[in-house]
Copies of this chain bind each other. A is one copy, B any other.
Amino acid sequence: MPKHPVETLIAQADAAINQEDFATLMEIYAEDAVLVVQPGRNAVGKAQIQKAFEAIAQHFGHSLEVKEAGMEVLATDDTALVLAKTLVSAQDHPTVERKATYVFKKDAAGDWRCVIDNSYGFDLLDSGQGEG
């Protein structure tokens, strides 16, 4: 199957995170995007999301490496759900595999933008944050 455009964006986002190139990273998010920083704690909008990524970079001693290890895209013409296995590694931290869920929306200009970024997948439910 040909790659969906959002797969390219996710690769660009991973590279931008690893290089701490937050300007490039923020281009991939919609203005009103939601990022799950930790289960139960969300960053909303580009300003909060950039701050969150800066804090994450610092937390990992500027050695964070994210990498996708498998991905499935389900999409209509203007909305895409991505299920991804994401490997997160950093100096002095064990590599963890996260099952991430991303939603992208095609904006009025025809560009895909990430609107929901939940790298914790179903851990949100298992952490007791789910409301049942």
Residues of A at the B interface (CB closer than 8 Å) are 1, 30, 32-34, 36, 42, 69-72, 74-79, 81, 83-85, 99, 101, 103, 105, 115-116, 118, 121-122, 124-125, 129-132
B131 contacts A83, C-beta separation under 8 Å:
no
Contact A116 B42 (CB under 8 A): no
Given A71-B132, A122-B122, 12 more A-B residue pairs with CB atoms under 8 Å apart are: A30-B76, A36-B74, A69-B132, A71-B125, A74-B116, A74-B118, A74-B124, A81-B118, A84-B125, A85-B122, A99-B122, A99-B125
Contact B79 A81 (CB under 8 A): no
Judging by beta carbons under 8 Å apart, are B132 and A70 in contact?
yes
Given A70-B132, A130-B71, A131-B71, residue A83 in contact with residue B34 (CB < 8 A): no
Chain B residues, CB < 8 A from A75:
34, 116
